[in-house]
Amino acid sequence: MSEILTVQNISHIYSAGTPFERAAVKNISLSVQEGEFVGLIGHTGSGKSTLVQHFNGLLKPTSGTVLVDGQDIHASKEATRRARFQVGLVFQYPEYQLFEETVYKDIAFGPRNMGLDEGEIDRRVRTAAQQVGLPEDALEVSPFDLSGGQKRRAALAGVFAMEPRLLVLDEPMAGLDPVGREEILQCIERFRRVSGAAVLFVTHSMEDAARVSDRLIVLNQGEILMQGSPAEVFSNSQALTAAGLDIPTVTRLFIELRRRGLPLSPAVYTVPQALAEILRLKNGGEGEVC
């Protein structure tokens, strides 16, 4: 597997040289492999949103380099533009960027900017709409007539239609009810399955991050606190709590049970895992559980 995104020692300082100077991102290095699902977790103000805007060249790092597919994205204007299309970025509350007369035209905005021909644009719009579960007849209505959840999915489709090789989502589920959250997660999963793209998913919800990610990166005050598989990260619950982050409820329960003397693994972070772990304990040593 090759690296689709490589970030080398980037820092970003806001209002440099004024009394308001503030480093939002400090000397961060990370990489995302082709097809990987990475969760980026951090508390509010930890620099998550600033960091992800470097991945497609919207922000230029004060120092350090960003490579997409091995190419420095600030090497030339063309390189930056190429990065825009290879790294699809979905902002927080993306439904606020809808603007066209019809949903179809709005989804087509990205592909059209890429300079694709009409046939290809049409194929991409329809594929993306399908991936986000928008019915055919919704394509011809105004995006402002859709429901909240549908708007969000239409905005998502606008980025899916660019068929990026790395999809970056900044809190894609913020402000949605549990059903809406589930729908968005399914859209992302579907897109990933079909396109084989890598996904980097920014969230402050440990539960969501734990459920879907292959690897987690934890950000605290503009620096990487730790990274690794969900099991590795959640087994280090003390550091997470110190950074003001919640650990999944299941993990908290298991840590407490362990503290009370049950030989359970501390690296449990989803309900199915918890079930398996309890069954293992029950079948393995009947006497120990109650």
Please tell me the count of residues contacting another protein according to CB under 8 A.
Answer: 23
DSSP 32: E
Map the footprint of another protein across residues 150-169, applying CB under 8 A. 158-159, 162
Residue 229, interface with another protein (CB under 8 A)? no
Among 13, 114, 174, 278, contact with another protein (rule: CB under 8 A): 114
Interaction mask 72-91, another protein, x per CB under 8 A = ---------x--xx--xxxx
Residue whose entry in the numeric block shows the structure tokens 């950000």:
219
- Report how far apart the first and last C-alpha atoms of the chain are (Å, whole number): 47
Among 79, 102, 109, 195, contact with another protein (rule: CB under 8 A): 109
Q: For residues 221 and 238, what is the distance between their CA atoms, to the nearest angstrom?
A: 17
Residue 273, interface with another protein (CB under 8 A)? no
Map the footprint of another protein across residues 131-150, applying CB under 8 A. 144
Give yes or no for a contact between 10 and 39, defined as CB atoms under 8 angstroms apart.
Answer: no
Among 27, 97, 205, 236, contact with another protein (rule: CB under 8 A): 97
Q: If residue 255 lies in a helix (H) or strand (E), which one and from where to where?
A: helix 249-259
Q: If residue 13 lies in a helix (H) or strand (E), which one and from where to where?
A: strand 3-14
197-231 CB burial, b ≥16 within 10 A, e <16: bbbbbbbbbbbbbbbbbebbbbbbbbebbbbeebb
Query: Closest by alpha carbon to 83, among 99, 102, 69?
Result: 69
- The region of 109-117, 187-195, 262-270, 282-290 touching another protein under the rule CB under 8 A is 109-117
Residue 96, interface with another protein (CB under 8 A)? yes
- The region of 93-101, 131-139, 230-238, 247-255 touching another protein under the rule CB under 8 A is 93-101
Binding site for another protein (CB under 8 A): 53, 56, 58, 81, 84-85, 88-91, 94, 96-99, 109-110, 113-114, 144, 158-159, 162
